[in-house]
Amino acid sequence: MLAEMGIETLEPLLADIPARLRLRRLNLADGLSEAETMARVRQLAGRNSAFEDRLTFRGGGVYRRFIPAAVPAVTSKSEFYTAYTPYQPEASQGWLQATFEFQTMIAELTAMDVSNASLYDGATAVAEAAAMAVVQTGRDRVLVAGYLHPEYLEVLTTYARGRKFHVLQKLPRAGVVDPDELGEPLDQTVAAVIFQQPNFLGLVEDAQALTEAAHQAGALAVACVDPVNLALLQPPGEYGADIAVGEGQQLGLTPSYGGPHLGFIACRSELVRRLPGRLVGESQDARGRRGFVLTLQAREQHIRRDKATSNICTNHALCALAATVYLSYMGPDGLRDVAQTSLTRSHHLERRLAGLRGFRPAFPEAAFVNEFPVRVEGGEGLLARLQEVGILGGLPVGRWFPELEGVLVFCCTELNDAAAIETLVEACNG
């Protein structure tokens, strides 16, 4: 190759780099063979202890759920994972169609008109929704009603500082928000009321009333929802939410120490041109064959530059594919079974724990689906004891909410079988 360029070494190609910048060599070890590389990586993996599925009773936004073998079988196809954003539609119809199916599924689950092709995670999805509301209403404050995931709130606050809007939070007394409590902070300067359904503690909010309160103040209602529990709970589109967002990790993705997961965002059709990120639409070729393309791209950074709706470019397409395969496998009945079984088991566990000395439901009046807060005497000691027998117990939430010191949020999914629940209850009773 050098000869065809008429040079003898690579040096002429690097000559425009100032000599004082040239490096002799990086201060890193030399490369390893595949066997040695994997030995080192396995050694690192071996220094972690993952808890068993059935003995993990901790959620907090990341859940151990059954992943059908079909999901990794599809996402590990190199035709999917070694492609990039489908800029050339004729050579990327598989990706585009799968994304169109994903958009439809999210729209169906949330009962909203339109979904985008994915965002990074639930936290940034909340932040993007808030930014949409700020632009749409021309107002510069957003109100977080109740127990939103504390890390989502933190990311929202970080984004707000950069994007020049303010975040207010109203924490309820009774675990869930009484819409009348919102009164004072919710005025004509609020762009959006943001709530999580079920909330971070697992409790079911009166989403309809919160949405109405938002609309009365001329604000948008932003619902942060759990896609599996949407099989049981009223979807945001039915109670009139303007934007629905959430985290899709439960739809076929492993916890992976927190990522990569799947942010989703859906909205009413009037807001579609304010959506961040990629959108896939249907079209036709000259012979009338249906095909799919990236569309409404003038919203995006590569065209609109400093006036784009968001700076997002790379998204979480492969995670969205996992969710699409998961939902195709489950269908409406399978998804409902998953949610129903989780609900049954959680309510069983809650009743069993409530019968133990030193355990009492933190908010006994509030409804929950598959995650619930329990006030536990000596909670930290309990967690250490559980860990010794291989159980990852409830999530201590006092670290974020001082008023909830001593509260553990327990979670059950379809993987925590009845025997595992008994093991947990016995260990708690010990």
Partner 1 sequence: MAERRYTESHEWVSVEGKVATVGVTDFAQSQLGDVVFLELPRAGLQVQAGDAFGVIESVKAASDLYSPVAGKVVEVNDRLTQQPELVNKDPYGEGWLVKVELSNGVGDGLLDEAAYKKLTGGRAE
Partner 2 sequence: MTEPLSFEKSRESLPGPRLPAAGLPGVDPAQVIPRARLRRNRPHLPRLSEPEVMRHFTRLAAMNYSISKNFYPLGSCTMKYNPVTNEVAASLPGFAYLHPYQPEETVQGALELMWDLERALCEIVGVDRMCLQPAAGAHGEWTGLRMIQAFHEDRGEDRSEVIVPDSAHGTNPASAALCGFKVVEVRSDAGGRVSLPDLESKLSPRTAALMLTNPNTLGLFEKEILEVADLVHSVGAKLYYDGANLNALMGICRPGDMGFDVVHLNLHKTFTTPHGGGGPGAGPVGVMKDLEQFLPRPTLERENGHFKLDFERPRSIGRVRSFYGNFGMLVRALTYILAMGADGLSQASEDAVLSANYLRTRLEGALEFPHDGPCKHEFVASARNLTAQGIHATDLAKGLLERGFYAPTIYFPLIVPEAVMVEPTETESKATLDAFTEAVLEIVQLAQTDPERLQAEPTSLPVGRLDEVAAARHPVLRWRPPAQD
Question: Applying CB under 8 A, which residues contact partner 1?
Answer: 273, 296-298, 303-304, 307
- Position 106, amino acid: I
Provide the minimum distance between the beta carbon of 184 and partner 2 in the complex, in angstroms, as a whole number: 26
Provide the minimum distance between the beta carbon of 246 and partner 1 in the complex, in angstroms, as a whole number: 28
Quick one: 227 exposed, middle or buried, by C-beta within 10 A (0-12, 13-18, 19+)? buried
* Distance from C-alpha of 88 to C-alpha of 103, rounded to nearest angstrom: 20
- For residues 61 and 86, which CB has a smaller minimum distance to partner 1 in the complex? 86
**With contacts defined by CB under 8 A, how many residues of the chain interact with partner 2?**
199
**Residue 264 makes contact with partner 2 by CB under 8 A:** no
- Which of 190, 223, 414, 423 binds partner 2 (CB under 8 A)? It is 414
Nearest residue to 259 (alpha-carbon basis) of 373, 130, 391, 151: 151
Provide the minimum distance between the beta carbon of 303 and partner 1 in the complex, in angstroms, as a whole number: 6
230 contact choice in partner 1, partner 2, none (CB below 5 to 8 Å, kind-dependent): partner 2
Using an 8 Å Cβ cutoff, are 292 and 282 in contact?
yes
- For residues 104 and 297, which CB has a smaller minimum distance to partner 1 in the complex? 297
| Sheet hosting strand 359-361, strand order edge to edge | 359-361, 371-376, 407-411, 395-396
- Angstrom CA distances, 198 to 108, 318, 356, stand at 19, 26, 25
- For residues 348 and 375, which CB has a smaller minimum distance to partner 2 in the complex? 348
**Residue 405 makes contact with partner 2 by CB under 8 A:** no
189 contact choice in partner 2, partner 1, none (CB below 5 to 8 Å, kind-dependent): none
172 cis-preceded (ω within 30 degrees of 0): no
Using an 8 Å Cβ cutoff, are 140 and 163 in contact?
no
**Residue 299 makes contact with partner 2 by CB under 8 A:** no
- Which of 210, 223, 224, 319 binds partner 2 (CB under 8 A)? It is 319
357 contact choice in partner 1, partner 2, none (CB below 5 to 8 Å, kind-dependent): none
Provide the minimum distance between the beta carbon of 408 and partner 2 in the complex, in angstroms, as a whole number: 11
By CB under 8 A, the residues from 86 to 105 that bind partner 2 are 86-95, 97-98, 100-101, 103-105
Q: Which helix (H) or strand (E) holds 197?
A: strand 190-197
Pairing outcome for strands 141-145 and 190-197: parallel
By CB under 8 A, the residues from 372 to 401 that bind partner 2 are 383, 387, 392, 395
Using an 8 Å Cβ cutoff, are 280 and 294 in contact?
yes
By CB under 8 A, the residues from 197 to 256 that bind partner 2 are 204, 206-208, 230-235, 238, 247, 254-256
Q: At 199, list the tokens.
A: 């909330």
